[in-house]
Amino acid sequence: MAQQIKFGTDGWRGVIADDFTYENVRRVARAIAAYVHRYEDASRGVLVAYDTRFGSRRFAQLTAETIAASGIDVQIAREITPTPALSYMVRKLEAAGGVMITSSHNPWDWNGVKFKASFGGSATPAITRKIESLLDAGGPHPPSSGECGAITEADFKTDYIAAIRAFADLKLIAQAKQRFAIDVMYGAGRGILAGIFSELGVPHVEIHGEIDPMFPGMNPEPILPHLRGLQQAVVAHGCDAGLATDGDADRIGAVAEDGSLVDAHKCFAVLLEWLLKRKQWPGAVTRAFNTTGMLDRIARAYGRELIEHGVGFKHVADLVLQGKEILIGGEESGGIGIPRFLPERDGSLNALLLANVMAEEGKTLGQLVEALQQKYGRHYYGRRDLRLTEEAKQSALRRAAARPAALGSFKVLRIADLDGYKLFLDAPTGGNGAEAWLLLRGSGTEPLLRVYCEAASPELVEEILDAAVEFVSGSK
């Protein structure tokens, strides 16, 4: 019996040689080919790209061959390519879609498949459901002509890099002469920011830029503890900020000049304030259910609509396709996108824009964050990923759904259940309407229960997370 393949918040992922096998990759590729034949213009072809993970190039070649066998022309990346570059080229070349072989931030022994729709962004929930429905349909029949599609190699990076360069104010960044550390986490973003900064004469150092599919000492996820090296590099080289991209370079992480972490929520908030104050472009603001309430307060201050949605950037893409004008959208994991550029997350672009904000405001990254904390209320954030049995995970979620009266020593004021269970707590606040909350949610990409928290101090965050772990274990 064939293994079950389920698409999560962004594509399908599995453990290499266990779930992620040649045969299962063929199944997914056949389903994608069937989707393209049935719902897209197959004559426009499909693009395929891959990251630095173990076997990614071979899996990409297998995907290209499988799709081409159905009569669709395929362009495959000539070299390791960031996911946003693939999405950009799908839209630029007006392709029927794109396939990215990557497992993003997952550990070294994982790999995966992301499908990028013809509009140049994450497949919407509706598209994902269609592809899943075709997984066991046997795939499309061979072309009646008996001819397979052509497979050609192509450069997906050059035009993309030119586009992100054009979107930022490079002259301003060059004039500021601020210093940066860049951590590409052994991933597909290697050389992109460093190349741009080198041309501008911006002082910088890039770390973890070599190719090593083992991702030694880290998962390629731009959060602690995986950013310890970037923290050390920022301090050692006297940088004004540290900028990180994840394994396939669609997510961002950052470090302030003193080596402290700037979580993705604060990166999002810095970019949002800048877009509203400096650019004044139109559009609503969207955020995932597990992101900071500071975004709500910033949007309210500028009279902008704030739309909350489920976890996964596909929800932002869905809103754009429905005709909603979106200024910026994003999620807790550092996936932030500006649809004016592309309805897609982009770690390299957002890192470049953070440098742009710093240059325009004449401040270090830490100074920008402190200004936001003073204006909109203090918030700090933490997350714990709990590896549990499915029974234990479901038990914790059921108890959260039952609306407990308290979590540890904190009274539960109310609960929201858009995507998981968010408990708003009677805890000290950061001022200006900031609230403390805890979210319990099953991961859409790994066998984990994720526990998220926002509160007025780092100590309070840890206290609430400790109480949450006790709640999950059933001890309280």
- The per-residue DSSP string of 140-208 comes to PPPPTT-PPPPEEEE--SHHHHHHHHHHS-HHHHHHH---EEEE-TTSTTTTHHHHHHHHHT--EEEES
User: Is the CATH number of domain 264-376 3.30.70.890?
Assistant: no
Q: Which two tokens stand for residue 465?
A: 């997370």
Question: How far is it, in rounded angstroms, from Cα 63 to Cα 10?
Answer: 18
pLDDT, tens digit, 9 for 90 and up, residues 62-100: 999 999 999 999 999 999 999 999 999 999 999 999 999
Amino acid identity at 173: I
406: β partners: 411
Any idea what DSSP says for residue 276?
A: I
Query: Pairing relation of β-strands 380-386 and 336-337?
Result: unpaired
| Inter-residue contact 438 to 468 (CB < 8 Å) | yes
CATH class as words, domain 12-155: alpha beta
Q: Which of the four pLDDT bands, split at 50, 70 and 90, describes residue 1?
A: low
Model pLDDT, residue 353: 98
**DSSP single-letter state for residue 418:** S
Encode burial over 421-439: b for 16+ CB neighbours within 10 A, e otherwise.
bbbbbebebbeeebbbbbb
Residue spans of the domains in the chain: they are: 12-155, 160-260, 264-376, 380-473
Task: Report the b/e string of 49-79 with b at 16+ CB within 10 A.
Answer: bbbbbbbbbebbbbbbbbbbbbbbbbbbbee
What digits encode the pLDDT tens for the residues 259-277? 999 999 999 999 999 999 9
pLDDT in tens, 315-368: 998 899 899 999 999 999 899 999 999 999 999 999 999 999 999 999 999 999
Q: Does residue 431 carry a pLDDT above 80?
A: no
Closest CA to 446 of 54, 218, 116, 110: 110
CATH class of 160-260: alpha beta
380-473 has the same fold as 12-155: no
Q: Which residue would you say has higher pLDDT here, 465 or 433?
A: 465
Task: Tell me which fold the domain 380-473 belongs to.
Answer: TATA-Binding Protein (3.30.310)
pLDDT tens digits, one per residue of 193-235: 999 999 999 999 999 999 999 999 999 999 999 999 999 999 9
Q: pLDDT at position 255, please?
A: 98
Average pLDDT, the chain: 94
